Structure formats: structure tokens, C-alpha cells
């Protein structure tokens, strides 16, 4: 199959390129774009209490704010707020109201908004709208309000605008700059590292152009599939898709280029070299892409909608990249021929491979020692995974010198931190009648003693009269791990115990939503990892025709995942003293370490089999596999790990954690698992590794079949080549 594909692509490169371009133009011109959502709660299943609370609120409180902000007003001389100051602040609030900012539905202040310590007074801002247009208008409203506040307050008073909406405005530039830095750094590193490896500018620039074009096509194919299969994505999908495509695209490109150069050095002309390359690497790329696509599709079993939406989107992108790698890349490289390595002449010289040959000899001579050492390292790192703590405080990951961050700090000095993000308790009568005031008052009084509650806001009746909202203000940061655990495990159960007779209770609000997200993420990981392990094992079984090999390869992959988690805990929670890791880091590591890291194991295992087919004994085959396949794995791993490590210089902590953790995982996958652990275990098992098939049985060369410039490996069946 791959031989026929290789011959067609190489002998008809222009037709291949034109067909790819025509298909791309048609897809981009006709297919729709995928719709995205930005609210994490939109992706939670409706069975969770916080989502049921949100739906009840939407029905009973249609005029309630969709977003909020607040203004901290202080005296310029640092003194206490006086009655005269309060009057000026009230007048300023009325003046701001008269300006009728877009999406701002209410501004409120009063004596109750003066901090108990009288250091400041709050102006509460209510905003409407949840779509992207409304969010943009809300940001503009915050900016305009900041411009107008000095004028309406007059001299003697200073103001800072805070809250989630204001924080978004302040951090938008930081996030945008960070993403631009990451994107630019990714391009520079890919180009720079490939340039360093091959000393060839054309070889360095070519993958950037092709992968970028593939991404554009992939997004449109995903858009069409989303309409057909009824799924959507979140705002982060495009970022993740870019990283995935540039990661696997660079890997597959390097797989092809290294083998192409190897065949040129063996004396093949450019067309023969590329035909042999696609024939041998084609199965590896197909198997690797299939493993990654299937691993991504497993996300469809996730209950959390963000993850289940990522699944088909990323799987489609991987399949498109796989097709590109087997058609467009080979067509372009075969056209360029040796010019792709210009101006370097090193492609003509056989490398000495001192480092890789040395590593290969070590693996071949002492496989047990190498397996024990690399395995022990992974186990030691994996132990750190037990200390993993999920962190949902996104605002804390942004710079803390912004106006919104300072406003939050000032506000928390006078009011409970939970004022801006209350726990929302909804009481609904079971008979449809209004709830008696005495019951509401009794519940409010008892609620003051609930775990972690620092204050209770006055009850707000809904439009029908049979639903009441009572906001509970937490004593601690409502987005912290401790508060989320407290609401999920203590406050919510305790509130249900004091529920008034004749009512139903739902506990909601952002903190409760994060608690439910914590539940669903833990559930998803417990389901996804075993299913992914089984499916990867099946793909390896098909590729290697062996039952034994998947039995140790899959546990090694899962151990690498755990070791990456542990490394992240040791670095970020331990060395850097951060309170936790971004809550979806395990899924990110699943995507980039477990899925993409499998590429390297597949490449190395296929090379192990190829060397065994050459007639080498298991230990010698392992040594040669590391010598010949190690540089490819090392180069691909280095490029991918380096691109992720660029995120460490971002100003946003969650990007630092994501990039640093994935870079560590890719490094472990390439340099510990693929180059040392997998070959060492395979060498130890010997011929048993390929049972019950005969994947390592040497194939005899037909007498007289070997021609000029051919080697024994040219007669290895395509099914056994890497």
C-alpha cells in the first residue's frame, strides 16, 4: 500500500500538489467555521447541582446581571470615608448611570457599601450579556468608566475598578502578548532547531508553511464536522490545535527528512530515496497518527463538554496532518531533492554517530541496568503525582500589578473576599406558593454559621415569588482550592441540612461550578485513561503483530504520563511554591504527552523490528535501533519540547505551567522512554517481545536479487520497516 502511494506521489509530484491545493481551496471556500463558547459552565452536564441552579436563576431572575464589576473609592489622603464623601460618591454613581454605558444595567452604592473599617466605599456595577459582542462591549464600558471616574468624583477621591470583567480588560494585553510570544517563539525555534540540525534554510522554512496551510484546512474541516455531528469548541481550541499540528507536523516531517537523507547517503537517487522513505516511514506515520487520533477521540467519552468537543476536532486535525505528511511533504521534498539541504553538503557524508552509537552500545550491553535506571527515574517522578492539587484561580495566574488586582486586594481588606463571587443559594417552594418570610429569615440566620461563610446578603425574591436567592459570602478567596473543596464537601451538604420545610434547595455560583468541574474532571480521567490504554494497545498489536509488546509499551506510556504529572508537582508546587496546577493540566498532558509522546515509541519499536529483520540478535538490534533511530527521536523531541518551553517566558502563570509541564513530558518520552527504556526492555525480552508473530524473523535475500547500490534492508517487507 505505502509502496504504491510512494510511487504515485514521487512520480507525479505536481499532480499531488495541485490536488492538495484544489482540495484545500474548495474546503476553505465552502466549509463553515466552528462555533465556540467561553463560559466553562456551558460545558458541564445538566445533572450537576450548580448547573441546575444556574438554569433556575435564568428562569426566576431574568434581569439578574450576567457579569459584575466594582469600583473601590478611597480618599486621596488615605483617611476614612466621611458622610460628605459618601454623598459625592452617590452623586458620581448617578452621573455614571446617566452616561448609559453599553451592557451596564445598574450602578449601586450607599451607606451599606462603605467598608466596616471605613477605608473605602464600593460602587457595584451590573452588566448584561454573555456572547462575544457583549463581552467586548463590557470591556469598552470598563475602559470608559475608568476615564470618566476622575471627572465625576472630583478632587480628594481616587478610584480603582475591579472584578472579573475589569480583570479581563487588564489581562487581555498580557494574554495576547504571551500568546504572540509563544506563537512567534514556536516558529523561531522550529526554524532555528531544524536549521541547526540540517544547516539548510529551505528545510527549516518548508514545514512552517505546510503546517500552517494544513491548520487552515483543518479548521474548516472541523467546522463542517461540527455542523454534521453537532459539537462546538471553547475559545482555547484554536491555540491547542495550533500546538498539536505544529508538534506532530514537525515530528512527521523530521521522520521523513532523516530517512530521506539516510537513503541518499546509501546511494539512492532523489526519487528512489523518497519512494523508499515513504514506504518505510509511511506505516510509522500512519500508525502514530492513528494512535493519536484514537486517543483524542476517546475524549468524546468525557462528561465535561470542553474535553468531549476537543476530541473530534483534534482527531480530524491529526488525520488531515497525517494525509499531508504522506502526500504533500513527500511531493515537495522529491521535487526539491538534494536542494532541500542547500547550502550544506553534510547529507553526502556518513555521520560518525559517536553519541548515538555510544548510547546504543550501552543499551545493547547492559539492557537490564538501563531499564532499571530509566524505569526507577520515571517511578520516582511519578510519586509526585500524588501531591497534585487543581487550581481554579485564573486571576491569580495573571500579573498582580494591574488596577483590577489592586482593587481586589483593597476590597478584601474591608469586606469578605467572597463579596464579588458569592455562593448563590436558591430556595424554591414545593407547592408553587411564595416562601414565608419567617422561613427565609430563619435560614439566613442559620446560614451565617455555615462552614466558611463570612456574611449573608439580604434575600432576593424571583419573578414568580416562589424562588428566593440568598448569597453567602465566603471568608476566603472563592476561587482558591480550599474554598472550592469547602463548598463541595462541607458548605453545600451543611446548607441542605438546614433547608426550610416545603422547599427545594440548589447551591450554585462560580465556586460551586468549579467544585462540580473538579468532580467531572476526576471522573473523566478515570474513564479516559483506561480506554486510551486499551486502544493504543490494539494499534500497537496491529502494527507489531505482537501480543507481548503492547503489554509493556502501554504501561511505559502510562508511567511516562504519571512521571510528567509528578515532575510538574515537584517544579511548580514544590520548587516555585505555587498553590496548585491549572485544573485541566492532566488532560493537557494526556493530549500532548500520552498521545504525541507515543509517536517516539512507535518509531523506535518499528526500528527495533527492522534491525531484528536484518538478522541481528535482540541486543545488537537494540543497539543499532538506538544508533540509527535515536537521532530522529532526539531531534523531534528536542524541537517539540523546546517549542513548549517558550511558554515559560509568558507573563501568565497557567501558560508557564502548561508549557513547562508538557516540555518535561516530551523530554521524558523522547530521551528516557523511547531512547532507553523501550529498547532496553525489548532487548531483555529478546524474541519473546514479538510473540506470537515473527516480527523479528530475518527474511532471506533472494539469490542474485541484490543489485548495485542496494542493501539487504531494501528487501525487508514494507510491513516491517520504520
Residue with cell 488525520: 319
Residue 632's H or E segment, with its range, is helix 618-645
Between residues 271 and 522, the one the model is more confident about: 271
DSSP H or E run through 172: helix 164-198
Interval 627-636 mean pLDDT: 88
Class of CATH domain 411-515: alpha beta
Q: How far is CA 319 from CA 257, 302, 721, in A?
A: 20, 21, 21
Q: Where in the chain is the domain with CATH 3.30.70.1430?
A: 65-162, 411-515
> Residues 65-82: what's their mean pLDDT?
90
* Mode of pairing for the β-strands spanning 157-162 and 453-456: unpaired
* Interstrand relation of 67-75 and 581-582 (parallel, antiparallel or unpaired): unpaired
**DSSP assigned state of 118:** -
Hunting for cell 444595567 — which residue is that? Answer: 105
CATH class of 65-162: alpha beta
* Angle subtended at Cα 301 by Cα 54 and Cα 290, rounded to the nearest 5 degrees: 140
Which pLDDT band holds residue 149 (cuts at 50, 70, 90)? very high
How does residue 18 score in pLDDT terms, banded at 50, 70 and 90?
Answer: very high
Q: Decide if 598 contacts 671 (C-beta within 8 A).
A: no
Confidence of residue 563 (pLDDT cuts 50, 70, 90): very high
- The band of 696, judged by pLDDT with boundaries at 50, 70 and 90, is low
The residues, any chain, with a CB within 8 Å of residue 171's CB and separated by 6 or more, are 395, 398, 399, 402, 404, 652
Least confident range from 159-173, 251-265, 267-281: namely: 159-173
Q: Does 14 have pLDDT greater than 90?
A: yes
pLDDT at 81 > cutoff 90? yes
Query: CA 125, CA 143: separation in Å to the nearest integer?
Result: 13
Q: Which of 613, 721, 595, 578 is nearest to 669 (CA)?
A: 595
Consecutive H or E run containing 228: helix 201-229
d(CA 353, CA 357): 6
What is the CA 525 to chain-centroid distance, rounded? 14
692: preceding bond cis by omega (within 30 degrees)? yes
Average of pLDDT values for 660-686?
93
Contact 558, 621 (CB under 8 A): no
* pLDDT at position 36: 58
Q: What is the mean pLDDT of residues 474-478?
A: 88
Cα–Cα distances in angstroms (integers) from residue 22 to residues 28, 217, 264, 279, 302, in the given order: 10, 11, 31, 25, 36
Taking the C-alpha atoms of residue 711 and residue 697, their distance in angstroms, rounded to an integer, is 18
pLDDT in tens, 578-618: 888 888 888 888 877 877 777 888 889 888 988 888 888 99
Grade residue 412 by pLDDT with cuts at 50, 70 and 90: confident
| Span 83-91, average pLDDT | 94
Nearest residue to 31 (alpha-carbon basis) of 23, 42, 39, 20: 23
Please, which pLDDT band fits residue 699 given cuts at 50, 70 and 90?
low
pLDDT of residue 712: 40
Q: CA angle, 171 as apex, 454 and 101 as ends, to 5°? A: 80
Q: What's the whole-number mean pLDDT along residues 493-498?
A: 95
Continuous H helices in 266-366:
270-297, 305-326, 328-336, 354-365
Q: Across 430-549, where does the E strand assignment appear?
A: 453-456, 460-461, 467-474, 503-508
Dihedral of the CA atoms 46, 48, 54, 59 (nearest 10)? 50
In whole angstroms, give the CA distance from residue 220 to residue 32. Answer: 6
- Of the listed ranges 143-157, 338-352, 373-387, 561-575, the least confidently predicted one is 338-352
pLDDT(681) > 90: yes
Highest mean pLDDT among 64-73, 485-494, 654-663: 485-494
Confidence of residue 625 (pLDDT cuts 50, 70, 90): very high
Beta-carbon count within 10 A of 508 CB? 26
Asked whether the predicted pLDDT for residue 719 surpasses 60, the reply is no
pLDDT in tens, 272-310: 999 999 988 888 889 888 888 888 888 888 887 777 778
Percentage of the chain modeled with pLDDT above 70: 91
Above 50 in pLDDT, residue 214?
yes
Amino acid at each position: 500500500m505505502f509502496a504504491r502511494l510512494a510511487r504515485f506521489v514521487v512520480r507525479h509530484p505536481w499532480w499531488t500538489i495541485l490536488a492538495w491545493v484544489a482540495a484545500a481551496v474548495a474546503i476553505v471556500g465552502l466549509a463553515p467555521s466552528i462555533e465556540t463558547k467561553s463560559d466553562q459552565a456551558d460545558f458541564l452536564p445538566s445533572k450537576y447541582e450548580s448547573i441546575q441552579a444556574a438554569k433556575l436563576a435564568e428562569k426566576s431572575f431574568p434581569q439578574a446581571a450576567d457579569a459584575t464589576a466594582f469600583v473601590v473609592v478611597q480618599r486621596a489622603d488615605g483617611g476614612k470615608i466621611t458622610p460628605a464623601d459618601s454623598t459625592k460618591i452617590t452623586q458620581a454613581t448617578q452621573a455614571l448611570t446617566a452616561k448609559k454605558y453599553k451592557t451596564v444595567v445598574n450602578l449601586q452604592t450607599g451607606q451599606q457599601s462603605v467598608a466596616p473599617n471605613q477605608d473605602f466605599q464600593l460602587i457595584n456595577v451590573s452588566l448584561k450579556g454573555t456572547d462575544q459582542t457583549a463581552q467586548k462591549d463590557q470591556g469598552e464600558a470598563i475602559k470608559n468608566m475608568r476615564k470618566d471616574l476622575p471627572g465625576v468624583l472630583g478632587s480628594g477621591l481616587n478610584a480603582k475598578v475591579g472584578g472579573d470583567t475589569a480583570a479581563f480588560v487588564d489581562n487581555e494585553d498580557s494574554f495576547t502578548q504571551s500568546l504572540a510570544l509563544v506563537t512567534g517563539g514556536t516558529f523561531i525555534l522550529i526554524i532555528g532547531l531544524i536549521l541547526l540540525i540540517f544547516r539548510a534554510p529551505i528545510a527549516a522554512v518548508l514545514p512552517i508553511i505546510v503546517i500552517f496551510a494544513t491548520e487552515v484546512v483543518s479548521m474548516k474541516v472541523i467546522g463542517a464536522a461540527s455542523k454534521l455531528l453537532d459539537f462546538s469548541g471553547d475559545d482555547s481550541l484554536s491555540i491547542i490545535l495550533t500546538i498539536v499540528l505544529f508538534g506532530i507536523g514537525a515530528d512527521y516531517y523530521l521522520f521523513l527528512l532523516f530517512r530521506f537523507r539516510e537513503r541518499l547517503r546509501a546511494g539512492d537517487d532523489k526519487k528512489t530515496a523518497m519512494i523508499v522513505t515513504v514506504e518505510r516511514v509511511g506505516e510509522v506515520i500512519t500508525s502514530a497518527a492513528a494512535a493519536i487520533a484514537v486517543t483524542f477521540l476517546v475524549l468524546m467519552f468525557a462528561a465535561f463538554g470542553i474535553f468531549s468537543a476537543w476530541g473530534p476536532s483534534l482527531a480530524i486535525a491529526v488525520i488531515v496532518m497525517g494525509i499531508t505528511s504522506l502526500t504533500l511533504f513527500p511531493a515537495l521534498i522529491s521535487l526539491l531533492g538534494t536542494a532541500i539541504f542547500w547550502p550544506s553538503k553534510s547529507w553526502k557524508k556518513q555521520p560518525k554517530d559517536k553519541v548515538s552509537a555510544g548510547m546504543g552500545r550501552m543499551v545493547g550491553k547492559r539492557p537490564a541496568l538501563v531499564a532499571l535506571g530509566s524505569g526507577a527515574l520515571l517511578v520516582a517522578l511519578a510519586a509526585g503525582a500524588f501531591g497534585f492539587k487543581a487550581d481554579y484561580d485564573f486571576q491569580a495566574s495573571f500579573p498582580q500589578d494591574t488596577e483590577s488586582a489592586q482593587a481586589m486586594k483593597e476590597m478584601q481588606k474591608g469586606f469578605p473576599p467572597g463579596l464579588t463571587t458569592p455562593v448563590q443559594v436558591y430556595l424554591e417552594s414545593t407547592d408553587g406558593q411564595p416562601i414565608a418570610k419567617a422561613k427565609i429569615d430563619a435560614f439566613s440566620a442559620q446560614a451565617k454559621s455555615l462552614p466558611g461563610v463570612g456574611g449573608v446578603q439580604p434575600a432576593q425574591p424571583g419573578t414568580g415569588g416562589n424562588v428566593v436567592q440568598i448569597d453567602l459570602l465566603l471568608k476566603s478567596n472563592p476561587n482558591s482550592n480550599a474554598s472550592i473543596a469547602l463548598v463541595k464537601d462541607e458548605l453545600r451538604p451543611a446548607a441542605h441540612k438546614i433547608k426550610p420545610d416545603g422547599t427545594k434547595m440548589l447551591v450554585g455560583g462560580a465556586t460551586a461550578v468549579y467544585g462540580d468541574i473538579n468532580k467531572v474532571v476526576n471522573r473523566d480521567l478515570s474513564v479516559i485513561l483506561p480506554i486510551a490504554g486499551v486502544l493504543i494497545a490494539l494499534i500497537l498489536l496491529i502494527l507489531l503483530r505482537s501480543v507481548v509488546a503492547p503489554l509493556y509499551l502501554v504501561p511505559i506510556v502510562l508511567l511516562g504520563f504519571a512521571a510528567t504529572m509528578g515532575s510538574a508537582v515537584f517544579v511548580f508546587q514544590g520548587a516555585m511554591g505555587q498553590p496548585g496546577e491549572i485544573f485541566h493540566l492532566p488532560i493537557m498532558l494526556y493530549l500532548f504527552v500520552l498521545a504525541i509522546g507515543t509517536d517516539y515509541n512507535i518509531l523506535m519499536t518499528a526500528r527495533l523490528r527492522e534491525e531484528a529483520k536484518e538478522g541481528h540478535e535482540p541486543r545488537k538490534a537494540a543497539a543499532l535501533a538506538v544508533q540509527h533511530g535515536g537521532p530522529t527521536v532526539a531531534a523531534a523531541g528536542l524541537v517539540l519540547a523546546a517549542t513548549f518551553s517558550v511558554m515559560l517566558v509568558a507573563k501568565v502563570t497557567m501558560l508557564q505551567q502548561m508549557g513547562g509541564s508538557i516540555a518535561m513530558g516530551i523530554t521524558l518520552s523522547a530521551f528516557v522512554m523511547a531512547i532507553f527504556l523501550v529498547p532496553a526492555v525489548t532487548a531483555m525480552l529478546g524474541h519473546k517481545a514479538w510473540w506470537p508473530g515473527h516480527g523479528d524473523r530475518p527474511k532471506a535475500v533472494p539469490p542474485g536479487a541484490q543489485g548495485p547500490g542496494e542493501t539487504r534492508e531494501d528487501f525487508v517487507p514494507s510491513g516491517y520497516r520504520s
